[in-house]
Amino acid sequence: MLSQIRSTGDQLRWAVDQPAPAIGTSSEILYVGMGGSGIAGDYVGAIAMPFGTRMVVHKGYGPLPLWATKARPLVIAASYSGNTEETLDFVESARDSGLRVATITTGGRLGELTVTHDWPSVSVPSGLQPRAAAGYMIGAALTVLRGAHAIDDQRLALDEAATMADEATAEGSDRWMEATRIAEKLDGRIPIIYAGGPVSTVVAQRWKTQINENAKVPAWWSLLPELDHNEITGWETMPEKTREHLGIVTLRDRSDNDRIETRLAHTRTLTQDAVPWVAEVNSTGVSRLARLVSLTAVGDLVSWMMADSAGVDPVPVATIEKLKKLLAEED
């Protein structure tokens, strides 16, 4: 898993040289994907936001949402394996509705449909755990959006992000040591990731899912200012338990609203007797993609270090595979 995490830089560089498929102009994007493929859509949605492109990420089955039947968006179906049940179901709905479809996959059933219907596609290299192929999937999605003239060329940003990923995941780097300190403080605790903006929020979700799949422990993420309207009261009645078993990490980016810093300070003051606030991680970099990757690298390392400390193999996801088998038996 560590080698796969460290391959993120090479994955992003791979996308720099990928030709954009000819799609035609579209400023309405409906991206469908699950797990690691789905989070790539969230990342690219955060990048597309400043360009005025509406990008909605759908994680689930069909049918199409009503707005899509009216707006006629470009549907991007992303599945690393090509066999994701929910994505395949949704793509059938998109095809039946006559929407344009582009795909991102290594093959599988989605690859077969791509060939059959001559859909524009970006084929990504196989051989990784889907969650560890985020660099490929993000780069491929950016390539599709470039082909749809939905965003500016992101190849310089991809190169910057790749360099940042390499530097962060090098043993002994500042980011490596930061991740080490966080993992040590989270040892034996359920992590809670707080964020407050378009960049930090996307990465908070990634931290949560990486900790779930790699370290095999529960985690959750919440968004400011929303959590100040509900979750902040949840620390009032069980402080003896929450102090012992939970820990908060905050993620920050310069795109966060100025009021988020103030809210974080007050939220911490009001809750720190009930739950430890173990770290604040700040993004670095110029481009939005690089800043996303700078926060992501720390979270990926933390999840691996937590698994290593607990003696857990971060690669297999046995419970997910068991669930897939149970679902298949009912077909």
Tell me the pLDDT tens digit for each residue of 178-205.
Answer: 999 999 999 999 999 999 999 999 999 9
Per-residue pLDDT at 330: 85
Question: How does pLDDT run across 82-135, given as a tens digit for each residue?
Answer: 999 999 999 999 999 999 999 999 999 999 999 999 999 999 999 999 999 999
Per-residue pLDDT at 253: 98
Q: What is the mean pLDDT of residues 152-161?
A: 97
Helix and strand counts by DSSP (H, E) for the chain: 14, 9
Question: How does pLDDT run across 1-40, given as a tens digit for each residue?
Answer: 999 999 999 999 999 999 999 998 999 999 999 999 999 9
Q: Where are the beta strands (DSSP E) in the chain?
A: 28-32, 54-58, 74-79, 101-105, 121-123, 190-195, 220-223, 246-252, 277-282
Residue 72's pLDDT band (boundaries 50, 70, 90)? very high
Q: What are the distances in angstroms from CA 155 to CA 19, 56, 109, 247, 248?
A: 11, 23, 30, 37, 34
Does residue 148 surpass a pLDDT of 80?
yes
Q: What is the mean pLDDT of residues 140-150?
A: 97
Fold of 2-153: Rossmann fold (3.40.50)
Neighbouring C-beta atoms of residue 92, cutoff 10 Å: 14
Does residue 139 surpass a pLDDT of 90?
yes
Per-residue pLDDT at 331: 75
Does residue 287 surpass a pLDDT of 90?
yes
CA–CA separation, 44 and 66 (whole Å): 23
Handedness of CA 175, 181, 183, 189 (dihedral sign): negative
CA–CA separation, 256 and 246 (whole Å): 25
Per-residue pLDDT at 5: 97
Q: What are the distances in angstroms from CA 129 to CA 20, 34, 35, 36, 82?
A: 25, 13, 11, 9, 13
Does residue 311 surpass a pLDDT of 90?
yes
Does residue 318 surpass a pLDDT of 80?
yes
Provide, rounded to the nearest whole percent, the portion of the chain with pLDDT above 70.
100
CA–CA separation, 322 and 70 (whole Å): 39
Residue 116 CA, chain-centre distance (Å), reads: 30
Does residue 315 surpass a pLDDT of 90?
yes
Per DSSP, 75 falls in state E
Taking alpha carbons only, the member of 272, 294, 270, 273 closest to residue 282 is 294
Q: One-letter amino acid identity for 288?
A: R
**What is the average pLDDT value for the chain, to the nearest integer?**
97
Q: What is the mean pLDDT of residues 236-258?
A: 97
Architecture per CATH, domain 168-310, reads as 3-Layer(aba) Sandwich (3.40)
Beta-carbon contacts of 239 under 8 Å, excluding residues fewer than 6 positions away, are 273, 274, 275
Residue 133 CA, chain-centre distance (Å), reads: 11
- CATH 3.40.50.10490 positions along the chain are 2-153, 168-310
- Helix 35-48 with 134-147: angle, nearest 10 deg: 50
CA–CA separation, 279 and 103 (whole Å): 38
Neighbouring C-beta atoms of residue 328, cutoff 10 Å: 9
Catalytic residues: 213, 229, 324
Contact 232, 327 (CB under 8 A): no
Q: Which residues of 221-240 are buried (b: 16+ CB within 10 A; e: fewer)?
A: bbbbeebbeebbeebeeeee
- Lookup: tokens for 155: 């190849």
First to last CA, the chain: 32
